Chain A
Amino acid sequence: MIEIKDISKSFGKNAILKGMNVTIEKGEVVVILGPSGSGKSTFLRCINFLERADAGEISIGQTKVEFKKAKSKEILAVRRKTAMVFQQYDLFLHKSAIENVVEGLIIARKEPKEEAYKKGLELLSKVGLKDKRDAYPHQLSGGQQQRVGIARALALNPEVILFDEPTSALDPELVGETLDVIKHVAQTGVTMIIVTHEMSFAYEIADRVIFMEDGVIVEQGSPEELFEQTKEERTKQFLARFSR
Chain B
Amino acid sequence: MDFDFAFMLEAFLAALHYLPTTLLLGFLPLVFGSALGLAIALIRHYEIPILAVFFKWFVTIFKAVPVVLILLVSYLVFSDVLDKIANSLALSISFRDIDRRSIAIFALTLYATSGLSEIFRGAFASIPKGQIDAAYSVGLTTLQVLRRVMIPQVIPLALPLVNNMLISLIKASSLVSMVSVVDILNGAVIEANVNYRYLEAYVAVSIIYWGVCASIEAVTAGYEKYANRNRRRQFA
* A interface residue numbers (CB < 8 A to B): 45, 48-50, 72, 76, 79-80, 82-84, 86, 88, 90-94, 103-104, 107-109, 136, 138, 149, 152, 156
B153 at the interface (CB under 8 A from A): yes
* In contact, B138 and A83 (Cβ under 8 angstroms): yes
* In contact, B137 and A82 (Cβ under 8 angstroms): yes
* In contact, B231 and A94 (Cβ under 8 angstroms): yes
16 residue pairs A–B, Cβ–Cβ below 8 Å: A45-B133, A50-B136, A79-B136, A79-B137, A79-B138, A84-B134, A90-B128, A90-B133, A92-B135, A103-B140, A107-B148, A108-B139, A109-B139, A152-B134, A152-B138, A156-B139
Residue in B130, B133, B152, B233 whose beta carbon sits within 8 Å of that of A94 in the complex: B152
* In contact, A91 and B134 (Cβ under 8 angstroms): yes
Residue in B137, B142, B234 whose beta carbon sits within 8 Å of that of A84 in the complex: B137
Interface size class of B (residues with CB under 8 A): 20 to 34
**Known contacts A94-B231, A108-B140, A152-B138: does B148 contact A103 (CB below 8 Å)?**
yes
Minimum C-beta distance from B164 to chain A (A): 23
Complex: A109 Cα to B234 Cα, angstroms = 28
Complex: A86 Cα to B131 Cα, angstroms = 10
Interface membership of chain B positions 136-154, coded 1 if the CB is closer than 8 angstroms to chain A and 0 otherwise:
1111111010001100110
* In contact, A79 and B236 (Cβ under 8 angstroms): no
Report A-chain residues with C-beta under 8 Å of the C-beta of B128: 88, 90, 93
* In contact, B153 and A50 (Cβ under 8 angstroms): no
For chain B, residues 144 to 186, give those with C-beta under 8 angstroms from any C-beta of chain A.
Answer: 144, 148-149, 152-153
* In contact, A93 and B153 (Cβ under 8 angstroms): yes
Given contacts A83-B137, A90-B131, 15 further A-B contacts (CB under 8 A): A72-B141, A76-B141, A79-B137, A80-B139, A84-B134, A86-B133, A90-B134, A91-B131, A92-B131, A94-B231, A104-B139, A104-B140, A107-B140, A107-B144, A152-B138
* In contact, B139 and A79 (Cβ under 8 angstroms): yes
Report A-chain residues with C-beta under 8 Å of the C-beta of B225: none
* B interface residue numbers (CB < 8 A to A): 128, 130-131, 133-142, 144, 148-149, 152-153, 230-234, 236
* In contact, A86 and B130 (Cβ under 8 angstroms): yes
* In contact, A108 and B138 (Cβ under 8 angstroms): yes
Report A-chain residues with C-beta under 8 Å of the C-beta of B144: 107-108
Residue in A72, A88, A138, A156 whose beta carbon sits within 8 Å of that of B138 in the complex: A156
* In contact, B130 and A76 (Cβ under 8 angstroms): no
**Known contacts A50-B133, A50-B136, A107-B148: does B141 contact A94 (CB below 8 Å)?**
no
